[in-house]
Each structure stands twice: as structure tokens, then as C-alpha cells.
Homo-oligomer: A and B are copies of this chain.
Amino acid sequence: MDFEYSQRTNELVQRVRHFMTDQVIPAEAVYEAQLREQTDYHQVPRIMQEMKAEAHAAGLWNLAMTHGDWGAGLSNLDYAPIAEEMGRSILGNEVFNCAAPDTGNMELLALFGSPEQQNRWLRPLLAGDMKSSFAMTEPDVASSDARNIATSIERDGGSYVINGRKWFTSGICDPACALIIVMGVTDPAAPTYRQQSMVLVPRNSPGVTIVRDLPYFGYVDRMGHGEVTFTDVRVPAASILAGEGEGFALAQGRLGPGRMHYGMRAIGMAERALELLTRRVLARRAFGAPLSDRGVIREWIARSRIEIDEARLLVLRAAWLMDTVGNKAARTEVAAIKVSAMGVAHRVIDRAIQGHGGAGVTDDTPLARLYALSRALRIADGPDEVHLRTIARLELAKYKTEPHSVA
């Protein structure tokens, strides 16, 4: 047992941290200003393009890609602390080409794509020349239950024809988005978890319509969370990913590393919030003393430190388990980090906002958006309750065959 990061990870963490501190964090206000000046909110602001170019040149690129020779050759455990650093700013992931949903899509393509699919979609994604989106969730149903998916993917000769309505199709509003991975039903008569398939749909296919860009708590994301209709959208049969009926398995497999990424990003958000809180209360005075002298605020700080450290260790261990025993054996841990890390982040951000007074709810700090984001992420990618059920089921299974033993 050893809690020291590897030398390579330590070096990468240092380099990413400096990049974040020196460039990305100071760029936040510039990015917002450029966004406001653009006619199209969804365009990439210039400063982001510049930072991406620099990160690419510096070799801080595709660090999240852990499969084959496609990326930097890091393991999940290697990447986790780097993901934390990137998570300190809402801009971090994009700068280093490590943003969802591209990361998950790249993983699917690396593991299950045909060579043709990889050449067409994976290579430009890795190069940063295009963006992608992922269309699974559907409106008006509990999408955490796969049986609620209604979008149809019907075979018609050499094509698949897609009809349905998706929402929270993240990334689709980015003008650079060229690919949508769509989850739908290819065989309603198959067993429950063999009905679904994933298919690669070019963004500019006829019949793909973005109905609207979904907000969360008043915010919209530059890359968008689209509500999208698919009306008789036709793609060649070779666009299927991995094969018919594989959709559910792909979705499950896709989620392990993604949850770890979200988990470490949440840790990064929480560390940022704690730093902002600490600096703020050292600098502000009320009733004759700095706010940092207040016992209640000190308790916020202390509990935040404890909760962050605990959640980080939980995520790191889950990453280690994914690397050593695989995503499936680590199901409890992968479910746990989603619930824990996002909850901690939201709580720490909440305290940081309270410590900022009125400024905390404005956009003068990143806290308000992080509050909204961390709350939304307690629902996105499966609400907490679904993950807690998974954990409980696995825990109960340990004793199910022997309920009457003495303990």
C-alpha cells in the first residue's frame, strides 16, 4: 500500500497545475467576455483555441485516453490526479482535449470501433479537429431505466433509419461537432438488455434537428445540451458500433472511466471552491475581525478539507480497481464515487458561496456556475438514487445466501 503518485503522474500533475494556474484560470474572465461578444454563443472563443494549441504543443493532450496507443498511455489511476487539476476550472477539460462527451466517445471508438470508424471519427477527435456528442437520454421518462428508451433504429436494406427524440445531448451545439453517437432500439423483441444498439450518426445528416439548447439553473453551456429530434435519419449499416444488441453493454462499460473523470473533476471543483473560500475569509472583515476568525467558518473549512480528502481517496481507489480488477468488479466503487464526490463538491461550493455573501451568487466568481453544475451532475449520468440502489444490491448480495448466521 502506497499513497504516493507515480513519478510520471507527479510530473504531469505539476505541469497541468502550472498550466491551469498560469493560463486557464486567468483566462476564465476573458473567455466569458469573448463569449458575450460573439454573435453565436456556441462558437469556440479565440482564447480557447489559443490555449488548446499550446496544450497540444506541450504534449498535455489526450491524457484521458487510456486505451492502446491512442493516447498518452496512462492508466486510470495515472490520469485521475491530472483530471482533478483540470477540474479546477470549468474550461480545463476542453483545453487539454479531455472533455466529455468526447472522452467517452473516443473510448467507445478505441475499444469497439472498426478501423474505418476509427479513421473517420477517432483520429480527428484525438487531433482536436472535430467534436462529438452522445445521445442517450430521452425526455419525459426515467432514462436510468434502459427499458424506457424509445428511439428506434430500424434496419432498412443497407441502412439504419433512426426516429426519436433525445435530450441532454451534450456537445451537439458546438459548430465543430461532427458526430453523434445515438443509442436506440434495434430489436424490441430481444431480451431487455439486448434490445439496444449504438449507431454513429454524422451531425449534418438530414433529419437531425436541434429543437433547443437546454439550460441548467439559468446557465447554458457553450457546447450545449441539445434537445434533438431524429426524423427518418438514415445512416449506412456499417455505422453500427460493435454490433446490434450491444448498446446496453457499451453504455455500461462507457460509464466507469467517465464516472471517475466526473469524480476527480468534482474534487478539483471542490478544491477550487475551498481555496476561494479560504482566501475570501482571510481578506474580509465584519464586526471587527476577519471572517476567518469565525468559528463557524473555520468549521466549514475543516469539514471541507476532510470531505474532499476522503472523496479523493475513494475515487483514486476506484480508478485503481478499474485498472486492476476491471470496471465490472469495481461497480460498487464506481457507483460510490459519483454520489460521494459530486455531493462533496456541491457542499463545499455551497459553503464557499455563503462565505462570499452576495458576490457568491453572481458571476464575479466561478462559484455560482459550479454550484449549478455540481447540482445538475447529481442527476446527469444517473441520479444518486440509482447508484445507491446498485451499491445496496451488491452489499445485500454478500449475505443473501446466509441470512440466519449469527453475527
Docked complex: A257-284 residues within 8 A CB-CB of B:
272, 274-276, 278-279, 281-284
Instruction: Tell me if A310 is interfacial: C-beta within 8 Å of chain B.
Output: yes
Interface contact B314-A218, CB-CB below 8 Å: no
Smallest distance from the beta carbon of A132 to chain B beta carbons, Å? Answer: 20
Residues 127 to 153 of chain A near chain B (Cβ within 8 Å) = 137, 139-145, 147-148
| CB <8 Å contact, A284 and B1 | no
Knowing A2-B1, A275-B407, A301-B396, the reply to whether A361 touches B310 (Cβ < 8 A) is: no
The reply to whether the CB of A6 lies closer than 8 angstroms to some CB of chain B is yes
Write out the residue numbers on chain B whose beta carbons fall within 8 Å of the beta carbon of A309: 314, 317, 333, 336
Looking at A291, A292, A362, which has the most chain B CB atoms within 10 Å of its CB? A362
User: Which chain B positions have C-beta within 8 A of A396?
Assistant: 278, 281-282, 292, 298, 301
Tell me if A305 and B406 are in contact (CB < 8 A). no
In this assembly, does A353 line the interface, its C-beta being within 8 Å of a C-beta of chain B? yes
**Known contacts A217-B218, A302-B388: A148-B286 contact under CB 8 Å:** yes
Q: Contacts A216-B361, A310-B340, A384-B354: A3 and B278 contacting too (C-beta < 8 A)?
A: no
Task: Please tell me if A157 contacts chain B, counting CB pairs below 8 Å.
Answer: no
Is there contact, CB below 8 Å, between A299 and B392?
yes
- CB of A391 closer than 8 Å to a CB of B: yes
B residues less than 8 Å from A284 (CB atoms): 141-142
* A281 surroundings in chain B (CB, below 8 A): 396
Number of copies: 4
Q: A218-B218, A276-B407, A309-B336 are in contact. Are A358 and B298 (CB under 8 A)?
A: no
* Mask: chain A, 363-407; 1 = CB below 8 Å from B; 0 = not: 100001101100110111001110111111101101110011111
Binding site for B on A (CB under 8 A): 1-6, 9, 25-26, 77, 137, 139-145, 147-148, 167-168, 214-219, 272, 274-276, 278-279, 281-287, 291-292, 294-299, 301-303, 305-306, 309-311, 313-314, 316-317, 320-321, 332-333, 336, 339-340, 350, 353-354, 357-363, 368-369, 371-372, 375-376, 378-380, 383-385, 387-393, 395-396, 398-400, 403-407
